[in-house]
Amino acid sequence: MEILGITALVTGAASGLGAATALELAGRGASVLGLDLPAALENCQPVDGIRYAAANVTDEDEVGAALESISADQPPLRLVVNCAGIAPAARVLSSRGTHDLALFRKTLEVNLLGTFNVLRLSSAVIARQTADENGQRGVIINTASVAAYEGQIGQIAYSASKGGVVGMTVPAARDLARSGIRVNTIAPGIVDTPMLASLGPEVGESLANGIPFPKRLAQPAEYARLVSMIVEHDYLNGETIRMDGALRMAPQ
């Protein structure tokens, strides 16, 4: 599928993976609708080809309104990239007591339910588009994590949520095959995002030392390029792709 001349929806578009993906797609000629929370969007600078809209991915009405804001005179929605997510840290049992149930629930709601909410609502829009000569109408790309496979100490909620995203990939691809919509998932390793940078350079250096090769943190732009590759590779479907430099996470 070509990126030029389509509309692409990107969640979590104000920073990190989402911001890099929005920039990549706009640079490739897509009309990008970037979703994020209102507070996150306050710091966004105008970018040609990107229109931002405030929406909580867990809210059916807000996501629906964002999709409805794509006017008939704009290019058809053919790509959705789910990048919105949170990554709290808490052990099942610690010196402070048991894992907070509300925190676990919120993590599942944002990372798993939010991804599913955007996937289900956007797939209905994509399914109405005209198919190409191969019957394809669009692509949905979700974001998991290597924590879905090797969750570290303190990642019980995050790992569960991302494991759910991985688990949705094949059945979603099968469900949407009749509509000509491909579904794939990217499972990044350690990416040099603003959230990681806030922990200090020593933390980033320590994490990089555990990566076999390349022995460095991944860059958000590399995630964005992988998104473009998946879009343009029409035979990739129902797949979860690790982008981690051969990293296998240790317990901590």
**Mean pLDDT along residues 164-177:** 98
At 62 the three-state DSSP class reads helix
Angle at 175 between CA 173 and CA 177, to 5 degrees: 65
Backbone angles phi, psi at 146, to 5 degrees: -65, -20
* pLDDT at site 196: 73
- Which band of pLDDT confidence, cut at 50, 70 and 90, is reported for residue 31? very high
Q: Is the pTM of this model over 0.85?
A: yes
Torsion angle defined by CA atoms of residues 63, 80, 168 and 123, in that order, rounded to the nearest 10 degrees: 70
Residue 198 has pLDDT above 80, yes or no: no
CA-to-CA distance for 127 and 115, rounded, in angstroms?
18
Residue burial 215-225, b: 16+ Cβ < 10 Å; e: rest: eebbebebbbe
Q: Alpha-carbon torsion 142, 143, 145, 148, what sign? A: negative
Residue 105 has pLDDT above 80, yes or no: yes
Q: Alpha-carbon torsion 246, 148, 115, 110, what sign? A: negative
CA-to-CA distance for 194 and 95, rounded, in angstroms?
29
> Where would I find the H helices in the chain?
16-27, 38-41, 60-68, 101-108, 114-126, 156-176, 194-197, 201-208, 220-232
* pLDDT at site 81: 98
The mean pLDDT value of the chain amounts to: 95
Residue 203 has pLDDT above 70, yes or no: no
* pLDDT at site 200: 67
- Annotated catalytic residues are 158
Look up residue 178 and give its DSSP letter.
Answer: G
Rg over CA atoms, the chain: 18
**Mean pLDDT along residues 199-210:** 74
Q: What distance, in Å, lies between the first and last C-alpha atoms of the chain?
A: 40
**Mean pLDDT along residues 228-233:** 98
CB 191 within 8 A of CB 217: yes
* pLDDT at site 194: 77
CA-to-CA distance for 117 and 106, rounded, in angstroms?
14
Residue 79 has pLDDT above 70, yes or no: yes
Tell me: domain 7-241, CATH 3.30.420.10, correct? no
Residue 205 has pLDDT above 70, yes or no: yes
Residue 199 has pLDDT above 80, yes or no: no
* pLDDT at site 163: 98
